[in-house]
Structure 1
Amino acid sequence: MTTRVRASTIAAFLGPSVFALALVGIAPLLYGVWKSLHFFNLTKANQQEFVGLANYATVLTDPVFWQSMYRTAVLFFVSVPTQIVLGVGIALLLHRPGLGALRALTRLALVLPMATTYAVVGLLAQVMFNIKYGVINQFLGFAGIAPVNWIGDPVNAYIAVIFWDVWQWTPFVALVMLASLSSVPPEIEEAARLETGRWWTILRHIQLPFLVPGLVAVLILRTADTLKLFDMVFTMTRGGPGSATEFIAILIERTGNRQFDIGLASAQAIILLVLTVFLARAYIRLFYREVR
C-alpha cells in the first residue's frame, strides 16, 4: 500500500469523526471565546461591540462570581474526597474472593444511580427531601427526629446537594476502582495475603499502585463534572434558597438566560473551562510517574 493510499484511507476513516468533533466541540468553543470579547446583551442586540478583556475584568472583580466559586470549591472538596473514600471501600469489599453472584448483583445496583440523568436525579431528590412527605424525613421520624426543612433552609439545602451528589457518583468511583483492582496480578495478591494478613499493607504496597491510573481518571472526570454541575441542582433547588446553592454553572445560566448578558456569561464559562483544564493537567503532573 502506497503512502498516498494509506493517507487517503486514514482520512476517510477519521475525517467524519474529526469533522463532527470540530462541529460540536471546537466551533462552539471558538464562538464562546469570540462572544466573551464583546458586549452582547440580548436586550440590546443592535449594540454589540468589541470590548476586549473587559468582560473578564468584570467577572474577576465581581464578588458574586467569587462567592459562587467558593460554594463550588466547598462542594468539590467535600463531595469528591468522600466519593473516593467510599468508592475505594466498596471496591475493596467487592474485590474480596467468594462473593459469587452477590458481586454481579451489587455491580448492577451500582450502575443505576449514575445511569440516571441529572435532571431526574434532581427531581427525585426534590421529592425525597420534601419536608411533608419526603422519605428522608420519614426515616428521621422513625429515629425520633423532627422533620427537617431540607430544601427551604440554606444550610440544609447545601448539605442535601452534597449528599445527593455523593449518592449518585460514589458508584461510578467504585466501579472504576474495581476495574483497577482487577488488573492486580492474582498470584502477587495471593502471595501477599499469605505473607501478611494486614489489609492496609496489601492495599498500600500491592493494590494502590494499580489504583493510581483509575484514581487520576476519577479525579479528572469528577472535577469537570462537579465544576459544571447544573442539571441536578437546578431541578432540585433552582440555586436557592436565596443563593445558597448557586454554584458557578448556575450563575452562568442566570447571567446568560435570565440577565441575557451573553458576553459576560461567555467570559464566566471560559474562565471555568481554563480552571478545569488547569486542574486536569495538575492531576496528571502530580501522578505522572505512577501513570507512566
Structure 2
Amino acid sequence: MFRKLLFFSLVVLVAGVVCYKPSATSDPGANPDDPAREDLTKIHYPSLDKIPWRGRFIRPQDTLESLYGNDWPTVARFNRIDRRHVYPGMTIKEPLDVASVKGYTPMPAKYPPAKGHRKYIVIDLGEQWLGAYEFGKLKFSMPAASGTKGHETPTGLFRVDARHRNHTSSLYKTEDDTAQYPMDNAIRFHIGPDNVSYWIHARDLPGKPASHGCVGLADEGMQNRVYGIPEEPLVLDSEKLYEWAVGENDYEDDTGEAEELEDGPVVEVIGANPEYR
C-alpha cells in the first residue's frame, strides 16, 4: 500500500512540474502568418521611430479601458484604432510612457502650402492620419483609415465639393449584411474618371488601411447606432471634422441630405500606405 501511495505521489509531482513549465504558460504572441494582420506592431509609421513602445498582446480579459484607464484614447490614437476593434488575440503598440504621448500627432504644427488657405485638409497615407489646418497652422488632427492595396486612396490636390451627413454606401453592407454601410458625416473631395466618388466619412477604424478608397474617421456615435457599442460614445472624430469643414457656420442649414458645395476646403492627399514589416 505504501509503495502505491509513493508511486502516485511521484506521478502527481512530476505532472505538476510539467504543467507549471513557465515557458508553456506565458502569454502567447500573435500568429505571424495571420492574413488579417492583427499584429499591429508590424505596421510601420515613421513618426513612431523615435517613440519607445512595445507590443501588448490582448488577452481575453483585456480592454483598452482595463489596461489604460482614462488614458485609453491616447493608446487608441497611437494605434489608429477604435475600441470595437481591440479584441483578444491581437497585438497592439503600447507606448512605454503613455503620459508622454498624450496629444501625439504625426502632422507638422505648420504646413506652408496651407498658409494662404482659411481651411486646408492634409491626409498622410503613410501615417494614416488627417490634419486640419487654418492658414497653415494645425488646428486639430486625428487617425484615419485609407484605401487598401488595390483600392488606394488617390493622391494629389482636391477640393471639398459636397456634404452628406446621413450618407450610406451604395455598394457595401454592414457586417451582418442587414443594411448599407453607414458613412455618416460624409465630405466628398474627388470624383474619379470612372465616376467613383471619394469621401471622408465615419467608419470603423481597425488600425490599418481598410477602405475601398475613401478615408474613414472614427465615430463611436455611428458604431453605437449600428452595433450597439460602445454604450457611451466618446470619440466623434468624423463629426468634429464635418462641423469644422462643412458645418453650418460656413454653409446654410444642413438638412442631412446630399448637397453640393462651392469653395470647400482644399484636400491634399500625400504619401503611400504604410509598410508591413
* TM-score, L = length of structure 2: 0.22
Higher helix fraction (1 or 2): 1
Q: Which has the higher contact order (CA 8 A, sep 6+)?
A: 1
Higher strand fraction (1 or 2): 2
